[in-house]
Amino acid sequence: MSDLVLILFTGLGLGALYFLAASGLSLVYGLMGVLNFAHGAFMTAGAYAAWLTMRDLPQGWPVAPRLAVAVLVAVLVGAAVGLVVEVVLIRPLYRRHIQQVLVTVGLSLAGVAAAQGIWGSDPRPVEKPVWMAGTTRLLGATVPNDRFVYLLVALVVFRGPLALLHLTRLGLVIRAGVENRTMVEALGIDVRRTFTVVFAIGGAAAGLAGVLYAQYAGAVSPGQGGSLLIYAFIVVVIGGMGSLTGTALAAVAVGLVQQLANYYAASGVGDLSVVLLLALVLLLRPTSLKGAPA
């Protein structure tokens, strides 16, 4: 029983990270039709920005406030990178999907190479606040505290964009744009400005995912964003492009299936089971969990 509780919390924590990584990707594709393969580079940029911030802040500070500042920096760096990439690289290529894929794939490769060139290929350890490195007894299981942090952050990130989508004019334009962006423009609304904002929001979510995944892994490395991106894509396809609720459900499902398979089958089977889950959803429900085209 205690093993199951631990696995469930680990799966939920991992699912929370997948959701953070996938939410921006889903919004960007849903509204703009851009399959952003550079999203992993945004996560890496956030992770390294946070690592540098923690390293350069006064070491006399406790780890927790340094991490809090680092998270803020990672979010801002992610948003800034997203904004610049949209304005400089994506905007000239709207409706040219193959070129978009080539540019974003190229950017992701360049991002990894740049990180390797500057900081080397080896993983760089990151500091973890004492409480996050500790554990809590829950239903007989010893659950690492960082899982609760990931869950809490994912919940806030889930509620934040939902509130943005349903309570603000920007959200209304985004929801309409996900359905039919041409018609939004034909109503006199500058969709491109909305695209830039959404790309920046996606970048901010990626930056946040990057810094928290580095906490989960205990280190930053150049390829980290890329490996998280694979799961993010799977989550988005299962959950439905442009659907935050679908993305959240899919992220939880992927995290749980992966952890349960790793424990009850064999270590490493988790990744295979995630791919099988994807295949199963595509076969049984090709329009994805939320009914959006997968």
**CB of 90 vs another protein, minimal distance in Å:** 17
Q: Which residue has the tokens 């934040």?
A: 160
Residues 205 and 78: beta-carbon distance below 8 Å: yes
What gap in Å lies between CA 93 and CA 116, rounded to an integer? 28
Nearer to another protein among residue 115 and residue 178 (C-beta):
178
Residue 3 vs 190, nearer CB to another protein: 190
Q: How far apart are the C-alpha atoms of 174 and 194, rounded to whole Å?
A: 7
173 near another protein, judged by CB under 8 A: yes
Nearer to another protein, 2 or 168 (CB): 168
Q: What backbone phi and psi angles, to 5 degrees, belong to 188?
A: 90, 20
Among positions 258-277, residues that touch another protein (CB under 8 A) are none
Interface with another protein, residue 165, by CB under 8 A: no
The only residue of 4, 52, 72, 189 in contact with another protein, by rule CB under 8 A? 189
Q: Contact between 176 and another protein (CB under 8 A)?
A: yes
Strand 124-125 vs strand 141-144: parallel, antiparallel, or unpaired?
Answer: unpaired
Q: Does 186 bind another protein (CB under 8 A)?
A: yes
CB of 22 to another protein, least distance (A): 20
Task: Tell me how far apart the alpha carbons of residues 193 and 279 are, in angstroms, rounded to a whole number.
Answer: 36
| Segment interacting with another protein, rule: CB under 8 A, options 40-48, 101-109, 166-174, 252-260 | 166-174
DSSP state of 220: E
d(CA 211, CA 220): 8
Number of residues near another protein (by CB under 8 A): 18
Length of the chain equals 294
Which of 215, 241, 242 has the alpha carbon at shortest distance from 228? 215
Q: Which residue from 126, 191, 200, 228 is in contact with another protein, where contact means CB under 8 A?
A: 191
Distance CA 294, CA 291 (A): 8
- Site for another protein (CB under 8 A): which residue of 58, 60, 188, 286? 188
The reply on whether position 187 binds another protein by CB under 8 A is yes
**Chosen residue from 21, 27, 132, 184 binding another protein by CB under 8 A:** 184
Among 54-62, 108-116, 148-156, 173-181, which window interacts with another protein (CB under 8 A)?
A: 173-181
Distance CA(162)–CA(234), nearest Å, equals 21
Please report how close the Cβ of residue 275 comes to another protein at its closest, in angstroms: 30
Question: What does 232-248 look like in DSSP terms, one character per residue?
Answer: HHHHHHHH-TT-HHHHH
Told to check if 169 binds another protein by CB under 8 A, we report yes
Applying CB under 8 A, does 172 fall inside the site for another protein?
Answer: yes
Nearest to 255 by CA among 66, 76, 17, 24: 17
Positions in the binding site for another protein (CB under 8 A) = 169, 172-173, 175-176, 179-180, 182-192
